[in-house]
Amino acid sequence: MTPTATSADAPIVVAVADGSPAAEAGVIVGDVVRTINGERLRDVIQYQTLVDEPEVELEVDRGGLERSFVIDKAPGAPLGIEVQSAVFDQVRTCDNHCSFCFIYQLPPNMRKSLYLKDDDYRLSFLYGNFTTLTRFTEADLERVITERLSPLFVSIHATDPDARSAMLRNRRGAMSLRWLDALLDNDIEVHGQVVVCPGVNDGDELERTMRGIMDRYAQLASVAVVPLGVSKFSHEETMRFHTVEEARRVVSTVEAWQERFHRVLGRRLVFCADEYYLLAQQPFPESDVYEGFELHEDGIGMARTFQREFDGEVATPTGTQPGFFAWVDGAPALAYRAPRLTDEQVSEVGTTPVTLGSTRRPPDPETPIGVLTSTYGAKVIAPYVASVPHARVVPVPNEFFGGNIGVTGLMVGEDLQRTLAAEPAGHRYLLPDVCLSNGVFLDGLSPEDLPHPVEIVPTNGIALREALAGSSKRTVVMQP
């Protein structure tokens, strides 16, 4: 007998597209989907497979009453339902205790979802989250191979078993990379990541990790080498900032291994995050080094991407590169892939957004412009902004997180309030949308809470160039 589905273990319908097959059949918001074609659902991956069929039979719970719908549609056509979660059974949480985990470095009293530590291969496939594979099983491997759940994203950190186990503070960390072997042997595309902690897995240990990748994991699609981020809330004495010399050694190590990989494999495979070049006070590599900018989301090649976009070398922005299934019918947007503005902010005319170039008069070209960005972002974009008359960069120090946190995506309302309060009124202030998720900052404030109006601009060089020229059709003005 099939157990009754509840909101805890079954998808809840949160939106139904007008005119869609689901809407015409009578599915409504609030319905709890018990089964599709007789199957209980684990996640939106299984959901998408089932709703791709030309005939879809839904059993739903509506206020305690069971309802059934048989929906005929074209094969592969969207059903028209959005559900509340990507995983319906239970998100597989992380049982590692990494000293460098940023979730342990968050301040108290932020929204609950920010404290969830997942280690779920399904979220890796769906949204590009990194998994350590310490909770991966034979059944998971069989499903990944059978259903071709590719690409996946794996946190490596160190290939030496003892070093990796120590970093993850989990004895299973010593052996869990055997799953990486199995995935690669079955032609699953995998992207790796190494978070480098000074005095822990840099220096000789980083060299050993590179050798391990060459010897055992050369089939990896890419490896991102990123620096440790330390907030003022970290209680780990061993976690500290890189010195300039340490950053330079990491860059030198990676670049030397890029040459080896290129010579042996025909591709560079491993790449340093842009932060490393800023920390090392060295210029960014040329565009061709990044081999297509596949690691743009990991902060690798973002500076060169911005330069190419701002200078008009490319016609369209690189943008977010989500997991393969992020587009699926029914999958909710999560984290930084969530909409930058809420539906209310997008639709509410007259009080919040005004689209430049349509309902709003183009701005006065003599009006001074301040481009709000992080301390790292300021180092990247300042030369380009300086080329525009009356424009300047307004760096926003991250006092909310403190430490060495200086990336734009972690800017919060509290720091923006303080920075803007010291800036003159009547200027145009441009804010990159990457620091927003569903219209709010990480600290729960919104653009309407800022002391001056801001224009929210997509985080790419094309949009910034257009906004500085006053011609962007993608810029949204937020009034306090």
Print the domain residue range for 379. 339-478
Q: Is 381 a domain residue?
A: yes
Q: Is 189 a domain residue?
A: yes
Same domain for 61 and 110: no
Separation CA 341–CA 476 (nearest Å): 9
Task: Per residue of the chain (480 residues), give pLDDT as tens.
Answer: 233 334 458 899 999 999 999 999 999 999 999 999 999 999 999 998 899 889 999 999 999 999 999 999 988 889 999 998 889 988 889 999 999 998 889 888 888 878 888 999 999 998 888 999 999 999 999 999 999 999 999 999 999 999 999 999 999 999 999 999 999 999 999 999 999 999 999 999 999 999 999 999 999 999 999 999 999 999 898 899 999 999 999 999 999 999 999 999 999 999 999 999 999 999 999 999 999 877 777 789 999 999 999 999 998 887 655 454 555 677 776 655 566 666 566 554 333 334 433 334 567 888 999 999 999 999 999 999 999 999 999 999 999 999 999 999 999 999 999 999 999 999 999 999 989 988 899 999 999 999 999 999 999 999 999 999 986 555 566 666
N residues, the chain: 480
The number of distinct structural domains making up the chain is 3
Same domain for 214 and 299: yes
The CATH number given to whatever domain includes residue 134 is: 3.20.20
Same domain for 292 and 265: yes
Question: Which pLDDT score, from 0 to 100, does residue 348 have?
Answer: 45
Same domain for 224 and 127: yes
The CATH number given to whatever domain includes residue 63 is: 2.30.42.60
Same domain for 275 and 192: yes
How many Å from the N-terminal Cα to the C-terminal Cα in the chain?
A: 56
Q: Is 3 a domain residue?
A: no
Same domain for 181 and 53: no
- Residue 412 phi, psi (nearest 5): -125, 165
Same domain for 380 and 445: yes
Tokens of 310: 């701002």
Same domain for 468 and 439: yes
Q: Is 145 a domain residue?
A: yes
Is 359 in a helix, a strand, or coil? coil
> Model pTM?
0.88
Separation CA 431–CA 166 (nearest Å): 40
Q: Is 320 a domain residue?
A: no
Same domain for 232 and 180: yes
Q: Is 92 a domain residue?
A: no
Same domain for 253 and 380: no
The H or E element containing residue 147 is: helix 138-147
Question: Which pLDDT score, from 0 to 100, does residue 337 have?
Answer: 59
Q: Is 439 a domain residue?
A: yes
Contact 130, 157 (CB under 8 A): no
Q: Is 223 a domain residue?
A: yes
Same domain for 359 and 234: no
Same domain for 142 and 232: yes
Separation CA 323–CA 223 (nearest Å): 16
